[in-house]
Amino acid sequence: MSESSDWQTWAALSLVAITLLTFVIRGHRKKNSGCNHCGPENDC
């Protein structure tokens, strides 16, 4: 792999990681949305 494409590899891996993290967070929030006593201070 050449030096010029090294930043592209890191950028692509970062994008994949951010996308995966976004899906995990959204799934976790959706799962807990049915809990009525949940608030910012309560971790259901």
Do 32 and 44 form a contact (C-beta atoms < 8 A)? yes
Where does the pLDDT of residue 3 fall: very low under 50, low under 70, confident under 90, or very high at 90 and above?
low
pTM above 0.85, yes or no: no
Two tokens, residue 41: 């201070």
Separation of alpha carbons 1 and 7, rounded Å: 11
**Residues 10-24 pLDDT 10s:** 999 999 999 999 999
How far is the C-alpha of 24 from the C-alpha of 9, rounded, in Å? 23
Contact 29, 22 (CB under 8 A): no
- Which of 17, 16, 21 is CA-nearest to residue 29? 21
